Amino acid sequence: MNDKIVNEEVQPACLPDESIPYNLTGLRCHVSGWAFDHGIAMVPLGDEATIIEAALCVNFYKCAAELEHGVNNCKRDSAGSLVCNIGGLFYLIGAASFGNKCGEKGHPGVYTRVTAMLPWITTMQRCMSPDKICNHVKDCPGNEDEKGCGLKEGQWVSKVIKYSSQYNTGSWSAQQILGVPDVYPTYGDLNGAWASHDIDANQYLEFQFVTPVLVTKVDVYETYNAGGVKAIKCLDVSGTWITLWSTPQVSVIHSVRIFSPSFMSTIPCFSNQIRLDIDCSVANSWVEIDAVGLHGSHGIPACEFKPCQNGGTCDDTQAGGYQCNCQVGWRGLHCETSLTEGQWVSKVIKYSSQYNTGTWSAQQILSVPDVYPTYWDLNGAWASHDIDANQYLEFQFVTPVHVTKVDVYETYNAGGVKAIKCLDVSGTWITLWSTPQVSVIHSARIFSPSFTSTTPCFSNQIRLDIDCSVANSWVEIDAVRLHGSQGIPACESKPCQNGGTCDETQAGGYQCNCQVGWRGLKCETRQDD
């Protein structure tokens, strides 16, 4: 608001109160304002006019005019004032509203009666006080105190990208999180906030702000069953989702709150896109979100946060993000993936079925994860076409190793893998792990079971057997990582049984020389069996 101007021509006037007489007929008052005079120049205009009898005006107006001379300020802006001297003090009695045949003889100007507006004026004086402007709480009826706040302290959601479900398309819809809070600081099941249609652990909201920033804080305005947010994620300009904060166990808080957790991730995120993962299962009811505020900085170079790991160097990008240059043997957005610690799938050999030839195809398991750590039915993972207990994926890695671990990145209906098998260089399939009963887990996970087989496997080819029948839906696999060693001689694990001796092969595998009466890859079968 501009500073007040007081000089010889501009003087303050008092607001009237109930002590001012309603009937001021015959009182000569001053009308003033600014106007374009015949469209040539802006000039201050002012003159005197007499308040005419109330019978000529409706109840909520004051009329003033020189009926013989046509004094009126209806050519001025609509806030032109009608000021009267009452008992030695000047009072603002009316504000110009309209004038029919403006300024013509016999046609008075019409003014809004200020005393009729006193309740509104009092409200605005209170809600527009300095301590209530841009404080993230709507105090004024028309949200005037929160308009134009811009990036002084943060941004409000400008666009909803996607969501798991919404209770309705109007009230309680995902669009309710746009802009400033509508419900906060009130607690209750109120339709100005988002509520999901489904009550489960897999709800989410994904939304955008106008300006990308280096994210420093996220404010979540929870107005019903607070405590259900289980993760806050940020889509970095590199295209990678970074989990800023998460919890394994949500809670239920029967009060309103602004949830602004300290970030657990040390990786910087330059972004204007945020995702909330929400668990309604503990509340067994709606978890309602009213608004989300984003805080961050434009000015801090991203590399100052030292995001690159394992000796990688950092370059700031023109977009305000960063790029890591990794040391030999490391890769990934932050050089976090060891090429020596594991390999990603390089080739799909065969599969039982695939949902499509592009999205959800078997080719989606190639290389690093595209969906993880996000949980949902997303097309960056493989999904089968057929929903039964006989699905499988068979795939290859670049380098054969003595297999020590297999990581399966499950991103939808996890728990459906029933066997992990390895094609040994001898040409034999070895079952590393299996289960007679699969499960359904409604969260993303990296499944790395301890092997139930004691038989070593030197290989670069793995097969997953998958049962979709328990989920009665798609079981989606995002990626698979193979761990092993090239340096351990295969014979050190003593694979040959019943007195057989072991010879290592040039390919890195082994060959068993069996005692008389025994045969098989590991001398495990009697000759007479």
Residue pLDDT, tens place only, 278-293 = 999 999 999 999 999 9
**pLDDT exceeds 60 at position 526:** yes
Residue pLDDT, tens place only, 290-306 = 999 999 987 666 677 67
pLDDT of residue 431: 97
DSSP state for residue 4 in the 8-state scheme: P
pLDDT of residue 150: 41
pLDDT of residue 293: 96
pLDDT of residue 122: 77
Mean pLDDT computed over every residue of the chain: 83
pLDDT of residue 504: 78
**Cα distance between residue 341 and residue 482, in whole Å:** 8
pTM: predicted TM-score of the whole model, two decimal places: 0.41
Q: Strands of 114-163 (E only): list them.
A: 155-156, 159-163
CATH 2.40.10.10 assigned to domain 28-119? The reply is yes
Domain definitions of the chain by residue range: 28-119, 155-297, 308-336, 343-485, 490-526
| Greatest mean pLDDT among 8-22, 40-54, 446-460 | 446-460
Q: Tell me how far apart the terminal alpha carbons of the chain are, to the nearest angstrom.
A: 97
pLDDT of residue 120: 80
Question: Measuring CA to CA, which residue among 369, 365, 396 is closest to residue 382?
Answer: 365
SS3 state of residue 302: helix
Indicate the residue type of 484.
G
Q: Same CATH topology for 155-297 and 343-485?
A: yes
Residue pLDDT, tens place only, 328-387 = 767 677 787 665 578 999 999 999 999 999 899 999 999 999 999 889 999 999 999 999
Residue pLDDT, tens place only, 111-161 = 778 887 887 887 777 777 766 666 656 677 766 666 545 434 689 999 999
231-235, 465-469, 507-511: the lowest-pLDDT one: 507-511
DSSP 264-279: ---S--EEEEEEEEE-
Helix, strand, coil percent values for the chain (each to nearest 5): 5, 40, 55
H helices present in 52-175, as ranges: 118-127
**Cα distance between residue 456 and residue 316, in whole Å:** 46
As a whole number, mean pLDDT of residues 59-63 equals: 54
Indicate the residue type of 207.
F
Residues contacting 244, CB < 8 A, separation 6+: 215, 218, 232, 233, 234, 263, 264, 265, 269
CATH number for the domain running over 155-297: 2.60.120.260
**Cα distance between residue 476 and residue 408, in whole Å:** 10
Tell me, which fold does domain 343-485 have in CATH? Jelly Rolls (2.60.120)
Cβ-defined contacts of 241-248 (< 8 Å, 24+) = 241/275, 241/373, 241/374, 242/267, 242/269, 243/373, 244/215, 244/218, 244/269, 246/277
Tell me, which fold does domain 490-526 have in CATH? Laminin (2.10.25)
**C-alpha separations of 476 from 44, 261, 359, 432 in Å:** 74, 31, 12, 21
